[in-house]
A and B are shown apart, each in its own frame.
Chain A
Amino acid sequence: MSDTSLHTPDTLRSRSEAVAGALPALMADAQHLAATILLGDHGRKRAGTGDEFWQYRPAEAGDSYRSIDWRRSARADAPFVRQTEWQAAQSVMFGVDDSASMTFTGHKNRPSKLRRAQTLAMALAILAVRGGERVGLTHLSEPPRGGQAQLMRMAAALMDGHEAGDYGAPKPRVMPSGSRAVFFSDFLGDPAAIETALHQAADRGVKGALVQVLDPDEEAFPFDGRTVFESMSGAIKFETLKAKSLRAAYLSRLAERKDHLRTLARRTGWRYHVHHTDTLAEPTLLWLYRALERVRG
């Protein structure tokens, strides 16, 4: 695997910044404002707690005297109440599968799946922080935070060693209820783990997106002849005498897996997207940006 197919801690941040620079700040949809007690700088376009002026409205019965804006009321005959805009912050949790299968790349000029997933995750995180959100990683026990320092911590944590085993699964340790989550993986492992994770997330009111990162070789299966296929760690082996004849079966199984993920996502209110490492990262980032906006209750 060449130097360009995997990130180093130094390059991850800078490459992510480069990708994130192409998009406006992500303004995630904060659906469950009430559940989050932390104030953010997201205008909710309705009156609530916040710093920004929203409107004056005539005082009604039940408004406290303290809430009456006397300066405004003095210019009229009736008392007015000054309201501020309801502002909130959202948490976005990222889960990046860093198991051995993610380090695969089918061509030396293509990034590995892991590198692409890390880039996308960090880019999204940067956008979120820029929009005033809090970000975090699902497999760490730390709560989500905002700010540039958190980005640095995230980048270090993402690069912090690979998970053992061929296939990984999302292991959400910290998922504040009502937050957003994005899982990057090739989802080629046992689907049961994903199901569990998603159901768990749905139970806690967490919504988000599944991004399946695949290498073009995994989509096309361009092999022929007598071949021994090995998983990336070498733990799983499969020998065929004529690889080409397996292509149809493999493709149908892959399609089945994608279909399963899509169904699962739909049932739990998540979104599902397939990203190929030979395409640009920006369209997927844009899709994620839209996807996180559009999930509305």
Chain B
Amino acid sequence: MIANLAFAAPLLLVALIALPILWWLLRAVPPAPIRRRFPGVALLLGLRDDDSQSDKTPWWLLLLRMVAVAAAIIGFAGPILNPQEQRLGTGPLLILMDSSWASARDWSARLDRAELLLAEAGRAGRTVALVQLTDLPPGDLALQSASAWAARMPNLTPAPYAPDLMAAAAWATALEGPLEVFWFSDGIAHPGRDDLTEVLEDLGPISVFQGARDVLTVAPPTFADGVIQIPLQRLGGTAPQDVTVVAHGLDPAGIPRDLARETVTFAAGETTADLALSLPPELRNRITRFELAGERTAGAVALTDDALQRREVALISAATEDEAQSLLSPLHYLRQALDPTADIIEGALLDMLLASPDAVILADIATISPDEQSALVSWVENGGLLVRFSGPRLAASDLARDEAGPLMPVRLRAGGRSVGGAMSWGQPKELRPFDDTSPFFGLEIPGDVLVTSQVLAQPDPQLSARTIAALSDGTPLVTRAPLGQGSVVLFHVTANAEWSTLPLSGLFVQMLERLAVSTRPVAPDAADLVGTTWTPDQVLDGFGTLRDAGVMPGVAGQDLATAPLSAVLLPGLYSDGDRRIARNVITPETTLAAAVWPADIPVEGMAAIAPTDLMAAFLTTALILLLVDAIVALWLSGRLTSLSRGVAVVALVFGVPHAVDAQTLSDADLRAILATQEVTLAYVITGDAQLDRVSAAGLQGLSNTLFLRTSVEPAPPIGVDLETDELAFFPLIYWPISPDQPLPSADAYARLNAYMRSGGMIVFDTRDADIGQFGSGTPEGRRLRALAAPLDIPPLEQVPDDHILTRTFYLLQDFPGRHMSRDVWVEASPPDAEQIEGMPFRNLNDGVTPVLIGGNDWAAAWAVTESGQPMFPVGRGFTGERQREIALRFGVNLVMHVLSGNYKSDQVHVPELIERLGQ
């Protein structure tokens, strides 16, 4: 670090000697005093400072100032980190760049380094020629000024293929020296590098610039045994290394995504690694390319083509229960033919259609259920391929006798025919060469393919157009008909070797392949591709970015298979009709080897460290230190009081919220939370301690009963003070009347009225049913009248026999408490309410009566002690207990009525509904 430091003006550093003097000066001068007006000075007179040390500047402040001054001195001396050593050279300069896909890994570093070299050459006034070896310039070397090249630098891009160094060597022989050569190598031993080196050495001195970054490549994946094998290579590193392989493709919605992501490890010292990727077929078929995450070279991208696309074929045969020899199975030969190249699924037809197979093969199936038929038709119309094989069942059935139907390409004659059998005259028939309109055109027909039996098509105007393979006598062997976007194909022979030897021959596999039932397992060689022309769909650039090929010209098939990649044959995806072939930068044969240079050629790294001027950094540091010093000096001399106060306020502001959080909830809030956590019954606190105690015990008894018998599980009852407490939390308020109860205030009445209007229910209990009737002049009755006068109480009626209260939970006719009176009053049903099946309809408050008035002293009947025993006797003996039970049932009905409204009144319609359903 120090070795890389130089100074523009080293003499200034002498000023550092002055620092000790400054130290002494600063220590000697105490900080200036503040003048303050202060009346209390009279009390200060005569006091003496106890600490004479404080007038000296503290040592750390001195040190701070020293450092600041030293930084300023050093800063002005102009420190420069990594001063550039001058490259001494004269004459024209040739900059060669490999510009291959492997250069893309550190392309920007190369450009930066080349720009530095150009800048240097520009300062030295040298002419420069810059040549990309992947794109050799025609004609003479264009020697230009360095700045002209520097302007062109940003436009340079790496090519997605390797340079042809043989051609370059030939090109270089035409050059005239002397030329100094700077060669930016990609570090890979391309063939011909030595030749080019030799030619260039004759021209002048050579310097090589080579990046240190590892080269990572991925070769085209192969599919074997259900897994995708992805071979990886590296060049450079020997340490263990994790590489992430990403599979790109379209998701079902057509959006490009990472379909899979797997990490593979290069073992220490190994240069190759293999990733075995097992993916479901649906996912695998969608993969368009594999990439190494984080690598931006064309070598780190492997495009996939049909080699990886495996079709999904659904096989169905009627004879699944057949336990005959497997060689007779109609599906055996199909399985054998398809297994290497397609994914076979077997099962129920409707289940398999859900997996959206590419093709469905029905082997000798005559009858399909209507459901299956419609599903199959719609699947074919959406682009499916249905292949049918005939057989004894098909021949015996009436299928396609009068009409072909959607799922048969042609009409069939009854029976079929046998040729060349023991009972027939003719010889087994051979195949006629394929017509040039047939998809099988070009396939070679082996001589041993003989057909002994077949189903015959009805003569038909369309028959010849639909025949794609025929026997030597012209009878169709394979017919095809389009259906929607898909097609239906019928083999007029069986899928096993019973009717013909076709399934035994290689032709069978090729025919299936041509029908696109299966796909080609391996990359085609040149011989296969002769005469075809392939157009590029997408091509890679040097950075491994896939882009649309646009209007690039097509490529001849044999070139595609064998020619090396070049500017006219870019790596990418080429297509011919439905078939696609990918050309990748890396082939399975590619091995990476490091370039070897002769010992006399200097090889430099790509790391170009530009000289760093540290002047600004030092001066900024000095400035910051002086600022700190100013603040500290202010603080020391006590002039920062207002600032520190501000800081304290800020600290307080940030500290305070905790205190606010810690505030406890008010009592009213706690009470509201308590009341709303569960259903809570409430009673009015009358001020009569005994009465309130009975109310609480009564509601507790009722709550216990509800808890035991119903799904209502109330919290312990709460007493409410009408003057202060919020009522809205309670579904039901029990209000016992005592003769000397105070009248609530106007506010309390307003809240009571709001409570009743919003669905609450108040149960008034005068507790005097033993001595007086409703409306009689008992003290409680008179008090009730006074209490209830300001309340918004609707017209009342005595509980009718069919009232909802009689049936919300228990079926009741009486509502006894400790007394047994029928005088219980509720809101009257509307005058126009009809007795619909015995039940008048009410709409107000969802049918909940806002008040219930009675005098049966229910709380006393419900009341339990803390041990759960009844608090008061009710009646006598068993009859009394029965009365208590009925009282509790009434309480249950009451709470149910409040909570469920007129739900139970709707129940009266159930018989009607059931009748309408016709049950």
Contact = CB atoms under 8 A, between A and B. Distances in A.
B31 to A, nearest CB: 6
Contacts of B639: 225
A158 B151 CA distance: 87
Contacts of B51: 241-242, 245
Interface in B262-317: none
B37 A104 contact: yes
Contacts of B55: 226, 241-242
A65 interface: no
Contacts of B42: 166-167, 188-189, 231, 236
A242 B49 contact: yes
Contacts of A41: none
A250 B40 contact: yes
B326 interface: no
B641 A222 contact: yes
B34 A225 contact: yes
A225 B44 contact: no
Contact of A230 (B37, B43, B52, B54): B37
Interface in B19-46: 30-45
B594 interface: no
B36 A228 contact: yes
A243 to B, nearest CB: 6
Interface residues of A, number: 40
A57 interface: no
Which of B42, B49, B637, B639 has the largest count of A CB atoms less than 10 A from its CB?
B42
Contacts of B31: 225-226
B89 interface: no
B47 interface: yes
A238 B34 contact: no
A229 B638 CA distance: 13
B44 A250 contact: yes
Which of A102, A215, A221, A227 has the largest count of B CB atoms less than 10 A from its CB?
A227
Contacts of B32: 226
A238 B33 contact: no
B270 to A, nearest CB: 71
Nearest to B43: A253
B632 to A, nearest CB: 12
Contacts of A47: none
Contacts of A222: 641
Interface string B38-80: 1111111101011110110000000000000000000000000
A241 B55 CA distance: 6
Nearest to A189: B42
Interface in A188-226: 188-189, 215, 217-218, 221-226
Contact of A229 (B41, B52, B637): B41
Nearest to A215: B39
A227 B33 contact: yes
Given A226-B32, A226-B55, A228-B34, A240 B43 contact: no
Contacts of A241: 30, 49, 51-52, 54-55
Given A222-B641, A225-B31, A225-B639, A238 B49 contact: no
A186 interface: yes
A244 B40 CA distance: 14
A223 to B, nearest CB: 6
A223 B38 CA distance: 11
Contact of A226 (B33, B37, B40, B45): B33
A264 interface: no
B636 interface: yes
Which of B39, B55, B641 has the largest count of A CB atoms less than 10 A from its CB?
B39
Which of A237, A240, A241, A257 has the largest count of B CB atoms less than 10 A from its CB?
A241
Interface in A260-294: none
A246 interface: yes
Contacts of A217: 38
B124 to A, nearest CB: 62
A226 B35 contact: no
B219 to A, nearest CB: 77
Nearest to A240: B49
Given A227-B34, A228-B34, A236-B45, A245 B39 contact: no
Contacts of A39: none
B49 A249 contact: no
B637 A104 contact: no
Nearest to A190: B42
Which of A217, A240, A243 has the largest count of B CB atoms less than 10 A from its CB?
A243
B36 A227 contact: yes
Contacts of A246: 44, 47, 49
A119 interface: no
Contacts of A250: 40, 43-44, 47
A232 B50 CA distance: 26
B45 A238 contact: yes
Contacts of A224: 637-638, 641
B49 A229 contact: no
A142 interface: no
Given A238-B45, A253-B43, A254-B40, A227 B52 contact: no
A239 interface: yes
Interface string A93-112: 00000000110100000000
B812 to A, nearest CB: 69
Nearest to B55: A241
Contacts of B638: 223-227, 243-244
Nearest to A243: B638
A225 B637 contact: yes
B36 A249 contact: no
Given A238-B44, A250-B44, A188 B54 contact: no
B496 to A, nearest CB: 107
A102 B41 CA distance: 13
A218 B33 contact: no
B43 A226 contact: no
Interface string B388-402: 000000000000000
B39 A101 contact: yes
A226 B30 CA distance: 9
B636 to A, nearest CB: 6
A254 B41 CA distance: 11
Contacts of A231: 37-39, 41-42
A225 B41 contact: no
B39 to A, nearest CB: 4
A234 B38 CA distance: 9
A167 B39 CA distance: 9
A257 B30 contact: no
Given A241-B52, A245-B50, A245-B51, A229 B30 contact: no
Contacts of A240: 44, 47, 49
Contacts of B34: 225-228
Interface string B634-670: 0011110100000000000000000000000000000
Nearest to A186: B39
B641 A228 contact: no
Given A241-B55, A246-B49, A221 B40 contact: yes
Contacts of B43: 188, 250, 253-254, 257
Which of A224, A225, A230, A253 has the largest count of B CB atoms less than 10 A from its CB?
A225
- Ranked 9 nearest A-B pairs via Cβ: A225-B638, A224-B638, A101-B39, A225-B637, A242-B54, A226-B33, A229-B41, A253-B43, A229-B38
Interface of B: 30-45, 47, 49-52, 54-55, 636-639, 641
Given A222-B641, A254-B43, 15 more contacts: A101-B39, A166-B42, A217-B38, A223-B641, A226-B55, A228-B34, A229-B44, A232-B39, A234-B37, A236-B42, A240-B47, A245-B50, A245-B51, A245-B54, A246-B49
23 contacts: A104-B38, A166-B39, A166-B42, A186-B39, A189-B42, A223-B638, A224-B637, A225-B34, A225-B636, A226-B30, A227-B33, A227-B36, A230-B37, A230-B38, A231-B37, A232-B37, A236-B45, A238-B45, A240-B49, A245-B54, A246-B44, A250-B44, A250-B47
Interface of A: 101-102, 104, 166-167, 186, 188-189, 215, 217-218, 221-232, 234, 236-246, 249-250, 253-254, 257
